[in-house]
């Protein structure tokens, strides 16, 4: 009897938790009639915010891939002094409050910032431009990708790249034909996480890029600013973000289930002389 009571209690608590987690999302879709929400999708504020978000996110994620992948690869496969410091630095933006990140970006790249004056001299002004949105997104989202990518590369059995080398492939071919395909699942999962973090970016963007419609106002910023003007527009944009987030979550789950299971790894071989 007691057992059944305990089990029942657990089910009840779990049910409350699930409803709590799902309820806000249900609210977004059922607060008003779907017709009114869909009508808002042609509202220029909504359209502009969607385009800004898409453009800046795609460029930011492309940059994260381009710079983050080699960074993660080196951190995962090389052992050098200062490596753990480098890993900690990579993770820094993850724990930094977004508003602080925004101030930091301003202080570094703003007109009077650390590099800002040199940039200004070159005719480049970053704050309150679309480039600033991209930079803010890349700054806060990149650690999620890099962390996951390090784990994905570390999970590759070190004998596989070693085998590739003895089979006549140089380091570059080994990277593209062995490391990248095997780590693929983890990399895509990391990118999905980074993407999700990027489209939700608020604090750093508002500090560094402002919220100018058509230029720097992303969906997340527009939701906040439209909140008092048109609740329907807010709901429509929220609905779009819910759908994107759901797709990213799905991508993440599929990518992680793909993960080829490499046999257990021993951190040795390449360059290091330890094994038998």
Partner 1 sequence: MARVTLEHVTVPLRSFELDVSLAIGATVALVGPSGAGKSTVLNAIAGLVRPSGGVIRCGEETWFDQDVFLPPERRSVGLVFQDYALFPHLTVRGNVEYARRHAADEYLERFGIAHLANARPAALSGGERQRVALARALARDPAILLLDEPLAALDAHTRVEVRTELQQLLAGLEIPTLLVTHDFEDAAALAQEIGVIVDGRLRQTGTAADLVARPADPFVASFTGANLLRGTPTGSPGSIRLEDGTLITAAEEVGEATTLAVYPWDITISTHPPDDSALNVVAGTITAITELGNRARVTIGPVSAEITAESLRRLGLETGGRAYAAFKATGTRVVA
Give dist(CA 161, CA 243) in Å, integer: 39
Residues in binding contact with partner 1, number by CB under 8 A = 28
Nearer to partner 1, 34 or 181 (CB): 181
Nearer to partner 1, 88 or 166 (CB): 166
Nearer to partner 1, 120 or 184 (CB): 184
Q: Which of 166, 201, 181 is nearest to 61 (CA)?
A: 201
Residue 56 is a binding residue for partner 1 (CB under 8 A): no
Q: Which of 53, 45, 78 is nearest to 130 (CA)?
A: 53
Residue 160 is a binding residue for partner 1 (CB under 8 A): yes
Q: Tell me 129's DSSP state.
A: S
Q: Token digits for 97?
A: 């409050």
Question: Three-state DSSP class for 78?
Answer: coil
Residue 178 is a binding residue for partner 1 (CB under 8 A): yes
Residue 274 is a binding residue for partner 1 (CB under 8 A): yes
Residue 270 is a binding residue for partner 1 (CB under 8 A): yes
Stretch that binds partner 1, among 56-64, 83-91, 128-136, 153-161 (CB under 8 A): 153-161
**Please, which contacts does 124-129 make with residues 24 or more away whose CB atoms are closer than 8 Å?**
126/208, 127/208, 127/209, 127/210, 128/209, 128/210, 128/212, 128/215, 128/216, 129/209, 129/215, 129/216
Residue 162 is a binding residue for partner 1 (CB under 8 A): yes
Residue 181 is a binding residue for partner 1 (CB under 8 A): yes
Cβ at position 191, least distance to partner 1 in Å: 19
Residues 55-83, buried b or exposed e (16+ Cβ, 10 A)?
ebbebbbeebbeebbebbbebbbeeeeee
Question: Three-state DSSP class for 170?
Answer: coil
Cβ at position 151, least distance to partner 1 in Å: 17
Cβ at position 175, least distance to partner 1 in Å: 13
Cβ at position 155, least distance to partner 1 in Å: 12
Residue 157 is a binding residue for partner 1 (CB under 8 A): yes
Residue 61 is a binding residue for partner 1 (CB under 8 A): no
Residue 168 is a binding residue for partner 1 (CB under 8 A): yes
Residue 170 is a binding residue for partner 1 (CB under 8 A): yes
Residues 245-263, buried b or exposed e (16+ Cβ, 10 A)?
beebeebbeebeeebeeee
Cβ at position 186, least distance to partner 1 in Å: 13
Nearer to partner 1, 160 or 242 (CB): 160
The residues of the shown chain that bind partner 1, judged by CB under 8 A, are: 157, 159-160, 162-170, 177-178, 181-182, 260-263, 269-276
């Amino acid at each position: 009897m007691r057992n059944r009571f305990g089990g029942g209690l657990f089910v009840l608590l779990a049910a409350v938790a699930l409803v709590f987690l799902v309820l806000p999302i249900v609210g977004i879709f059922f607060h008003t009639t779907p017709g009114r929400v869909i009508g808002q999708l042609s509202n220029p504020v909504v359209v502009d915010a969607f385009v800004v978000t898409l453009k800046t996110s795609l460029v930011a994620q492309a940059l994260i891939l381009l710079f983050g992948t080699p960074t993660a690869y080196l951190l995962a496969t090389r052992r050098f002094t200062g490596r753990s410091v480098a890993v900690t630095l990579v993770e820094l933006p993850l724990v930094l409050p977004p508003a602080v990140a925004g101030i930091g970006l301003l202080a570094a790249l703003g007109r009077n910032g650390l590099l800002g004056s040199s940039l200004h001299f070159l005719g480049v002004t970053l704050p309150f431009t679309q480039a600033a949105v991209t930079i803010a997104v890349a700054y806060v989202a990149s650690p999620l990708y890099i962390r996951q990518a390090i784990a994905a590369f570390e999970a590759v059995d070190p004998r596989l790249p070693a085998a590739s080398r003895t089979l006549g492939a140089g380091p570059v071919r080994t990277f593209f034909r062995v490391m990248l395909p095997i780590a693929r699942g983890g990399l895509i999962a990391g990118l999905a996480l980074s993407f999700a973090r990027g489209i939700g970016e608020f604090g750093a963007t508002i500090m560094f890029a402002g919220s100018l419609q058509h230029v720097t106002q992303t969906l997340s910023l527009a939701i906040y600013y439209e909140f008092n003007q048109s609740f329907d527009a807010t709901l429509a944009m929220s609905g779009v973000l819910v759908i994107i987030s759901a797709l990213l979550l799905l991508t993440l789950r599929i990518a992680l289930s793909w993960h080829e299971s490499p046999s257990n790894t021993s951190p040795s071989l390449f360059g290091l002389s330890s094994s038998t």
